[in-house]
Amino acid sequence: MNLYEACYDWMKQRNVGFIDITLPFYVSAVCCHVMNLENKRREFYYEHGRPADLRLHIFLAAPPGYMKTFILQRLLSKNNSMFGNTKIKTAFIGSLTEAGFVGTFSNIDGQSVPQPGAAFDFMDHVLGIDEFSALTNMMETEHSKNLDNAMLTALDSGYLIKRLAAGELRYETHLTLLAGSQPARYNLTSGLGRRFCFIYFVPDKAQQDQMRKFRRMGKGVKGDEQTASAIYYLADKMVSDVQSVNNIIYHDSIYTQLDTMSIPHFEEPLYEKIALGYCMATKELMPNFVVEYNDTIGQLWKLQHEWRYKIKAGAQDAQVMQFIVETPGIEEKDLKVKMLDFGMSYQETSMALESLYRQRRIGMVINKDNPKQPKRFLWPYH
């Protein structure tokens, strides 16, 4: 049994739903975190003359009530989680602002005192943040104009420098960030989008029914202690074995496949890290560790590519369109009421409908003889 198989069994025994589309990315992120810490310690793998940053940050875009908090707790909480009782340092925080993440200065007895943030306190942790308010608010703007460069740098190279009127914060962090929020208008061509692997989960009707069943099936289920012990052993073994790695080699098959997908060069590192983390979770660590393409990695890449396309096209628009596809001819009022359960206000739904109609991605039916009759929306457009 390898680490990924043990994690999969752990989740399955506890009746956690939709692990096929979420778990591989989270396990890959944890494995990349372990490799990155070792690379920063010994500096054995370089890119363009500097030790490469191998972290894979994850952002889960999902409606309220669809596993954003739950999955992070299952991974990182100190009690009854997959990695909370291993040598891999983990932490979970309910909410955090940008200042709380990066740090700021406080006035104490008339003196400006630096107060480093969570990026300093958890510099070698896998950190889960359920509601990262500053991050998500900034991501909802079309160009993330106000996003603090210090935060971007902390997620990229790890070197954090923030200059304020009261002074300067300067430190290095190697934390891996797992965060989440509701679907919004994320601009993935910005610096932030390039730093996150996105998981986009807006359940269709069948998945909503499955979620209801999974919630009920989990009642009274403790899970097998033997599987938990296997994860602890395999995770700790990975932390020890990674000390023997002297080089990371990306097999030609990795780039052959990326070329067929026409991935932009600035997004390629995300796909490389997904492959690196998954290989670490499923293969024995060797001095020359080879990252080679396989069908499972191909499926993960395909999901990531599709999710990034949906988010680039408009995550909220895609969320509304999904319900029109499932229920052609749905009336405007019924659709707006439905979207309330998915965290979208009447105004946000109206804006999404207007945007989709202008793009000719949906059709609209209006009864000219009876203007009081509600609008209905159709897909396909014609």
Find which of 138-147, 151-160, 244-253 is predicted with most confidence, using mean pLDDT: 244-253
Q: Which H or E element spans position 192? A: helix 191-195
Burial code (b: 16+ CB inside 10 Å, e: under 16) for 239-273 equals eebbeebeebeeeeebeebbeeeebeeebebbbbb
Confidence grade of residue 142 (pLDDT, cut at 50, 70, 90): very low
Within 13 Å, how many C-alpha atoms sit on residue 337's CB side?
A: 5
Q: Pairing relation of β-strands 196-200 and 57-61?
A: parallel
pLDDT at 266 over 70: yes
Residue 178 main-chain phi, psi, to 5 deg: -115, 115
State the Cα–Cα distance between residues 154 and 132, nearest whole angstrom: 15
Residues 6+ away with beta carbon under 8 Å from 190:
143, 144, 147
pLDDT at 144 over 60: no
pLDDT per residue over 32-55, tens digit each?
A: 999 999 999 999 999 999 999 999
* Three-state secondary structure call for residue 161: strand
CA nearest neighbour of 172 among 160, 180, 162: 160
pLDDT at 351 over 90: no
CB atoms within 10 A of CB 379: 19
The alpha helices in 242-294, defined as continuous H runs, are: 252-261, 268-282
pLDDT per residue over 67-122, tens digit each?
A: 888 899 999 988 789 999 999 999 998 777 777 888 887 777 777 788 888 889 99
State the Cα–Cα distance between residues 233 and 152, nearest whole angstrom: 34
Whole-angstrom CA distances from 65 to 36, 182, 205, 313, 324 are: 32, 10, 15, 24, 21
> In DSSP terms, which residues pair with 170 in a beta bridge?
161
State the Cα–Cα distance between residues 130 and 93, nearest whole angstrom: 7
pLDDT per residue over 204-221, tens digit each?
A: 888 888 888 988 988 988
Average confidence score pLDDT of the chain: 87
> In DSSP terms, which residues pair with 289 in a beta bridge?
248
Q: What are the structure tokens assigned to 3, written together?
A: 């680490």
Which amino acid, residue 297? Answer: I
Complete domains list, the chain, with CATH: 3-293 (3.40.50), 314-378 (1.10.10.10)
Q: Are 186 and 126 in contact (CB under 8 A)?
A: no
Over residues 234-253, mean pLDDT: 97
Please report the sign of the dihedral spanned by the C-alpha atoms of residue 29, residue 32, residue 33, residue 34. Answer: positive
CA nearest neighbour of 181 among 334, 67, 346: 67
Q: Are 86 and 76 in contact (CB under 8 A)?
A: no
Confidence grade of residue 259 (pLDDT, cut at 50, 70, 90): very high
CA nearest neighbour of 364 among 338, 330, 326: 330
Rg (CA), the chain: 22
State the Cα–Cα distance between residues 97 and 134, nearest whole angstrom: 5
Q: Are 38 and 99 in contact (CB under 8 A)?
A: no
> In DSSP terms, which residues pair with 57 in a beta bridge?
196
What stretches of 216-354 adopt beta strand conformation (E)? 247-250, 288-291, 330-331
Q: What are the structure tokens assigned to 84, written together?
A: 């909370």
Please report the sign of the dihedral spanned by the C-alpha atoms of residue 65, residue 69, residue 71, residue 73. Answer: negative
Confidence grade of residue 268 (pLDDT, cut at 50, 70, 90): very high
pLDDT at 129 over 80: yes
